[in-house]
């Protein structure tokens, strides 16, 4: 419903805890903590609370998706490398039944061929890729717009 405070879960997969130091030529110098802070502020401006989590464990991400069913309105997810390999994570997104947007800092189709296919995108309402840290903000804006239109 438009006007009510939305709850958004932001999930980050393997190796994203190293943003800011890992391959800065690909991922930039912004840390995951920086992105979390910016999203919290943006969420507040958009009428949403944002809960930000990261795990290097596939099962933890799936557990969080299952738990989100009863306490969140939507999910923003950067599955990291699991994007291209994890049918289990794909199924977890589908099972959660929440509007989900996939985001990526880098332009994955412009990278190595194994990064060209996303197994998780098909169960998301959309994807935002290649805009650096701004992919998160663009994804959050799109998700809030989608939720408010429901």
Q: Where are the alpha helices (DSSP H) in 10-133?
A: 24-27, 32-46, 58-68, 87-96
d(CA 10, CA 74) in angstroms, rounded, equals 9
Strands laid side by side in the 48-54 sheet? 48-54, 6-12, 74-78, 100-104, 126-129
DSSP state of 18: G
Annotated catalytic residue, options 27, 66, 84, 146 = 27
d(CA 94, CA 50) in angstroms, rounded, equals 21
Cβ atoms 12, 75 nearer than 8 A: no
Tell me whether residue 84 is one of the annotated catalytic residues. Answer: no
Tell me whether residue 104 is one of the annotated catalytic residues. Answer: yes
Annotated catalytic residue, options 66, 84, 104, 146 = 104
Catalytic residue list: 27, 104
């Amino acid at each position: 419903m438009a006007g009510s405070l939305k709850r958004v879960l932001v999930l980050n997969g393997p190796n994203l805890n190293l943003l800011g130091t890992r391959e800065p030529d690909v991922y930039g110098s912004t840390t995951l903590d920086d992105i979390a802070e910016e999203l919290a502020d943006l969420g507040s401006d958009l009428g949403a609370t944002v809960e930000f989590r990261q795990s290097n464990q596939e099962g933890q991400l799936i557990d969080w998706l299952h738990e989100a069913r009863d306490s969140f309105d939507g999910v923003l997810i950067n599955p990291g490398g699991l994007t291209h390999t994890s049918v289990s994570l794909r199924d977890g997104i589908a099972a959660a039944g929440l509007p989900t947007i996939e985001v990526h800092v880098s332009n994955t189709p412009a990278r190595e061929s194994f990064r060209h296919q996303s197994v998780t995108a098909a169960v998301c309402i959309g994807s935002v890729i290649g805009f650096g840290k701004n992919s998160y903000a663009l994804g959050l804006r799109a998700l809030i717009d989608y939720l408010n239109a429901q």
